[in-house]
Structure 1
Amino acid sequence: MKIDLSGKSAIVTGSTAGIGLGIAQGLANAGASVTVTGRTQGRVDDAVATLRHAVPGASIDGVAADLGTAEGCQALIAAKPACDILINNVGIFGPENFFDITDETWQQFFDVNVMSAVRLSRHYAQGMKQRNWGRIQFLSSESALNIPADMVHYGMTKSAVQSISRGLAKALSGTNVTVNSVLPGPTKSEGVGKMIADIAKQKGISEAEAEETFVQENRPSSIIQRVASVEEVANLSVYLASQQASATTGAAMRVEGGIVDTMA
């Protein structure tokens, strides 16, 4: 199978690092023109430079905007009125005791993780429907199904985007626009990599041993018994963006190493 996205334009939100940057690179490698987004111009410029170096000749640009606000979403839409592929990746997370989570924090998580995807999908899906081709993805998480006791607010948002993904797929029934959610598990992005390095330093063990300890203590049901790489998550996203995935829609596609203990 050769995935060719030449002539397709993609927007990947929250793509200055981690899974978002990995997906942006994967789409660029497949020939798509890619727009990366981040909250600051400096981070966006760095990501654009990184991708242009990694994929010589690729069409890469960026938009700096706070997509956790209606104004930020509108700024992106104004800069990029249309696209063929929308990857709703932007998100925040962090552990916190349920009884300490304030109304403001609940609202912040909902605005960034959910409403950014709602606002952008509402706009870009209409153009995709008119052109009768498009791909929309929502980055969910295995935490949408295994709600973490120390991140209830995060898990809630990931369950929400999964529901929106399924409903939007139905709203686009009969078109060549597909909508899917992608459920990663722990992935070795910059943040997780630093956390594992910190564990290794604190316990005086190697990073490989620290990763194994983290998985055993925090995701014991993992079948692969390791943290996934960014590229492994990005590979699934690139496939779902392709013509070859034309019959996959309304699906929750898992790339979490078998953590969720179900065959469905």
Structure 2
Amino acid sequence: MKIELKGRKAIVTGSTAGIGRAIAEGLARAGASVVINGRGEQRVAAALDEIRALVPDAELTGIAADLSTAEGSAALVAQVADADILVNNLGTAHLNGFFEQSDSEWLDLFQLNVMSGVRAARHYLPAMARRGWGRVVFISSESAIMIPKEMIDYGMTKTAQLAVSRGLAELVSGTGVTVNAVLPGPTRSEILGNWMKATAQGQGITQEEAEQNFLKTMRPTTLLNRFTSTEEIANMVVYVCSEQASGTSGAALRVDGGVIRAIF
């Protein structure tokens, strides 16, 4: 299968590092022109340089905007009015205690993980539907289904993304636009990778040993018995954004290494 996205414009939110950065590179390799997004100019510029070094003929644009705010979202659409592909990847997670968390912490995470994607989809989806082609992908998580007790707020936002994704797929049914969610499992991304690196240094073990300890204690149902790579997540996303994936919409597609013990 050869995926060809030349002539398509893609926006990948939160794409200066980790899974988003890998998705942006994957879409660029497939020929799409890609908009890189992050909160700071320096991180955006660094990501652009990295991808250009790896994909010399890539057509890239960088936009620094904090999409957790309505103002930041407006700044994005002011600079990029239209897109064929929207990957709502922006998000974060923090270990926390449910009984100690404040309302503002809950609301801040919801703005970042959920409303950033809601606002982007609200702007870009109508034009996709009018043209009769488009791809929207929400990067959710296996934590949407297996809610982690140490990050209940995070699990809630990832479940919310599944609801938004499925609802939007219903809303644009029959238009040629597909809307799907991708559910990564434990991944050697920037956030979890840095956590594992810090854990390894604190315990005097290797990062691989720290990852194995995490899997045994926190995700013992894994079938891969290793963390996935950001490239493995990106491969699924690039496929879902392709013409070849035209028959898939309203789906929650797992790249979780088998952590979720369910047939469907």
> How far did 1:207 drift?
2.5
* Paired amino acid for 1:129: A
Aligned-partner SS, 2:96: coil
**Structure 1 equivalent of residue 57 of structure 2:** 57
- Indicate conservation of the 8 Å contact 2:130/2:175, yes or no: no
**Structure 1 equivalent of residue 117 of structure 2:** 117
Q: How many residues align?
A: 264
Structure 1 stretches lacking a partner, 5+ long: none
**Structure 1 equivalent of residue 235 of structure 2:** 235
Q: CA RMSD in A?
A: 0.9
Provide the rounded CA distance (Å) in 2 between the counterparts of 1:207 and 1:116.
Answer: 32
Taking structure 2 as the reference length, the TM-score comes to 0.98
> How far did 1:210 drift?
2.1
**Structure 2 equivalent of residue 247 of structure 1:** 247
> How far did 1:187 drift?
0.7
> How far did 1:208 drift?
2.2
Aligned-partner SS, 2:262: coil
Aligned-partner SS, 2:175: coil
**Structure 2 equivalent of residue 196 of structure 1:** 196
**Structure 2 equivalent of residue 31 of structure 1:** 31
**Structure 1 equivalent of residue 133 of structure 2:** 133
Taking structure 1 as the reference length, the TM-score comes to 0.98
Aligned-partner SS, 1:254: strand
* Paired amino acid for 1:3: I
Aligned-partner SS, 1:99: coil
Percent identity at matched positions?
Answer: 52
* Paired amino acid for 2:219: R
Aligned-partner SS, 1:247: coil
Provide the rounded CA distance (Å) in 2 between the counterparts of 1:72 and 1:197.
Answer: 31
Provide the rounded CA distance (Å) in 2 between the counterparts of 1:199 and 1:71.
Answer: 36
> How far did 1:206 drift?
2.7
Provide the rounded CA distance (Å) in 1 between the counterparts of 2:216 and 2:64.
Answer: 38
**Structure 1 equivalent of residue 206 of structure 2:** 206
Q: Deviations over 1:172-210 (max 9, x none)?
A: 011110000000011101232222223333333333222
> How far did 1:35 drift?
0.3
**Structure 2 equivalent of residue 7 of structure 1:** 7
Provide the rounded CA distance (Å) in 2 between the counterparts of 1:185 and 1:205.
Answer: 23
Aligned-partner SS, 2:137: strand
Report the more deviating stretch, 45-54 or 6-15. 45-54
* Paired amino acid for 2:64: A
- Indicate conservation of the 8 Å contact 2:87/2:139, yes or no: yes
Provide the rounded CA distance (Å) in 1 between the counterparts of 2:188 and 2:97.
Answer: 24
**Structure 2 equivalent of residue 260 of structure 1:** 260
> How far did 1:95 drift?
1.0
**Structure 1 equivalent of residue 146 of structure 2:** 146
